[in-house]
């Protein structure tokens, strides 16, 4: 729709964003609020894809630190992202949204396999499309899955929701004089050694000139405001 600055976006949520005040799992109130935000943005005309992490359930690196085989741990992490994706699909559908989960690992009794052309078709038809299981391989994260899928579907923007309201020159929790950037180039991020996404995900975004916006999703209505062109959080792109 004409008043939107972005037509097709991919929103990356961490698994931890679903936990609320708990230290594990999914808080129905929190996932409901996130689903409301997504539905509001969809109703305004945006085509929305989602990637949700699995850190509220399992991360391979954490399991490996406890003695588990890393590849098995990563497979458990990928399955955790499928669980989160199914929960989000349910929350969206309960609110009248149309949603599809597509997984990078074959688990098609519970969701569709990821097929790029089919994913684009879902988006064109207005279905909120949730990409689960990251890139489908161990030793990657869902940040990489988000960057990869955003590029594959031709997203205008990759939105990364975090607990912090953008990218700062130093940790704002430790330094009261930390300064938030409104925008950065990919080269700024590298030269200042800023933490935006994991290295593989960032390299993918930079090589494909995919703009990223890092923002705090806790304020109601923020997703739609960004889609309408408000400069919220920090934009990272090829030119400042």
Closest distance of CB 209 from ligand UDP, Å: 22
Closest distance of CB 77 from ligand UDP, Å: 2
CA gap 2, 117 in Å, rounded: 25
14 binds ligand UDP (CB under 6 A): yes
CB atoms within 10 A of CB 194: 18
Please tell me whether residue 192 adopts helix, strand or coil conformation.
coil
Would you say 139 is a known binding-site residue? yes
Q: Which of residues 28-57 bind ligand UDP (CB under 6 A)?
A: 53-55
Would you say 234 is a known binding-site residue? no
CA gap 29, 20 in Å, rounded: 8
Q: What is the gyration radius of the CA atoms in the chain, in angstroms?
A: 17
User: Quick one: which segment of 36-44, 133-141, 153-161, 185-193 binds ligand UDP (CB under 6 A)?
Assistant: 133-141
CB atoms within 10 A of CB 26: 20
145 binds ligand UDP (CB under 6 A): yes
15 binds ligand UDP (CB under 6 A): yes
60 binds ligand UDP (CB under 6 A): yes
Closest distance of CB 63 from ligand UDP, Å: 8
Kindly give, in sequence order, each residue whose CB lies less than 8 Å from that of residue 82, ignoring residues fewer than 6 positions away.
101, 103, 105, 107, 110, 111, 132, 133
User: Quick one: which segment of 12-20, 87-95, 109-117, 153-161 binds ligand UDP (CB under 6 A)?
Assistant: 12-20
Which spans of this chain sit near ligand UDP (rule: CB under 6 A)? 14-16, 53-55, 59-61, 73-74, 77-78, 80-81, 134-135, 137-138, 140-145
Annotated binding site for ATP: 12-15, 55, 59, 162, 168, 171
């Amino acid at each position: 729709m004409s008043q939107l600055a972005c037509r097709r976006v991919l929103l990356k949520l961490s698994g931890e964003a679903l936990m609320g005040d708990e230290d594990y799992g999914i808080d129905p109130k929190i996932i409901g609020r996130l689903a409301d935000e997504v539905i509001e943005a969809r109703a305004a005309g945006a085509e929305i894809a989602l990637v949700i992490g699995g850190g509220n359930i399992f991360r391979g690196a954490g399991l490996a630190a406890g003695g588990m085989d890393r590849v098995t741990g990563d497979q458990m992490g990928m399955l955790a992202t499928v669980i989160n994706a199914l929960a989000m699909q349910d929350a969206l559908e309960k609110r009248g949204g149309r949603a599809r989960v597509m997984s990078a690992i074959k688990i098609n009794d519970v969701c569709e396999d990821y097929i790029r052309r089919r994913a684009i078709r879902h988006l064109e038809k207005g279905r909120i499309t949730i990409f689960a299981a990251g890139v489908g391989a161990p030793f990657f994260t869902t940040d990489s899955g988000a960057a990869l899928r955003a590029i594959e579907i031709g997203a205008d923007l990759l939105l990364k929701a975090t607990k912090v309201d953008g990218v700062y020159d130093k940790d704002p929790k430790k330094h009261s004089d930390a300064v938030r950037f409104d925008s950065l180039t990919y080269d700024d991020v590298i030269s200042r050694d800023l933490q935006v996404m994991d290295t593989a995900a960032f390299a993918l975004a930079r090589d494909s000139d995919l703009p990223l916006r890092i923002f705090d999703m806790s304020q109601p209505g923020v997703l739609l405001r960004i889609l309408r062109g408000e400069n919220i959080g920090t934009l990272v792109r090829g030119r400042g």
